[in-house]
Structure 1
Amino acid sequence: MSRAQEERPRIPPRWFVRLAWGIHRAIYRITRGRVGLWRPKPQGWGTLHLTTIGRRTGEEREVILGYFEDGPNLVTMAMNGWAAPDPAWWLNLQAQPDARVVVRDGPRLVHARAAQGDERARLWARWRDIDTGLDSLAALRSAETAVVILEPLAGPNR
């Protein structure tokens, strides 16, 4: 085995990643949200349930994502299991940036945007502190991984 092959991070096959995501969503649905979401631990990440509007269908689309808190904002990455294309939820948010999230503390209405420049560098470094293999995994993608900021919308949340 060559040195390059040894240094390349090992990720599960795509079918396994998709199966794990499906099981996680099913557990969340079956338990009506009682299981499947958790708050970020110190120097760790939590999970949130994001509902977007499909850019082609106009129908609601749901996904569970890892996140951490940055002040009032929730921060996630558009990584698609480290596969090359951007995930559908991120494409949906680019078309319609207002969305609904549910975190362990309850629902929130948010506005999504990609972090840019120094802000992206700062948030990426924070992800790197949480996941030490982040840079080698991100190198598997052909495009830069978007760091997505979910900012709370003013007004009552549902």
Structure 2
Amino acid sequence: MSFDTRPGTHGARQPRGRVMAWMNHLMARRIRRQPQSKFMGFNALVLTTVGRKSGRERTTPVGWFPGIGESRLIVASAAGAPGNPDWYYNLAAHPDQVRIAVDGRTIDVRAEQLHGPERAEAWEQITTAAPRFAQYQVKTDRELPIIRLTPRH
């Protein structure tokens, strides 16, 4: 499956800047220290990707939802912004060079964007657990990408 979600034409303002980077750093540190961390009411993990342009490692705290088996689902919502978050493009460029810090462990994972009925089923699960994501979808005209992170053994 491909990473093929194009930016939209309208949406909420995407948080950026030094304050946001500082907050992400603090949240990532907290998630790494506290197994089973929560962020805005749902499970949280630290996503480490390889920058598509820089080639440098990038970390971002994100909320996750249980997937099939050992997989986890994340949503590239950017709070309903018209553009996808930077980490989405990093995953697209390097889907096999991803790791997560979750529940006190670091796990190498493979990233895959969900499409069709598989995405629809995951979306139903996610919006039932966290209705905020349905509100994000209303703010933008792009379809919010759902990414499955599956452990690489």
TM-score, normalised by the number of residues in structure 1: 0.75
Q: SS state of the match for residue 52, structure 1?
A: strand
1:65 pairs with 2:62: yes
Shift of 1:38: 1.4
1:76 corresponds in structure 2 to 74
Runs of 4+ deviating beyond 6 Å: none
Q: How does 1:1-158 map to 2 (within 5 A)?
A: 14-15=14-15, 19=19, 22-29=22-29, 33-35=32-34, 38=37, 45-70=42-67, 71-98=69-96, 99-154=98-153
Percent pairwise identity? 27
CA shift in 2, pair 1:37/1:57, >3 Å: farther
Shift of 1:36: 8.4
- Work out the CA distance in 1 between the residues paired with 2:17 and 2:103: 23
Q: SS state of the match for residue 100, structure 1?
A: strand
Q: Higher relative CO (CA 8 A, sep ≥ 6), structure 1 or 2? A: 2
Which consecutive unaligned segments of at least 5 residues does structure 2 have? 1-11
Which consecutive unaligned segments of at least 5 residues does structure 1 have? 1-10
Matched letter for residue 126 of structure 2: W
Instruction: Please give the root-mean-square deviation of Cα atoms over the aligned residues, in Å.
Output: 2.8
Q: SS state of the match for residue 121, structure 1?
A: helix
TM-score, normalised by the number of residues in structure 2: 0.78
Count of residues in Structure 1 that have an aligned counterpart in Structure 2? 139
Name whichever of 17-26 and 52-61 sits farther off: 17-26
- Which structure: larger Rg? 1
Q: SS state of the match for residue 107, structure 2?
A: strand
Question: Is the 1:52–1:93 contact (alpha carbons within 8 Å) kept by the matching residues of 2?
Answer: yes
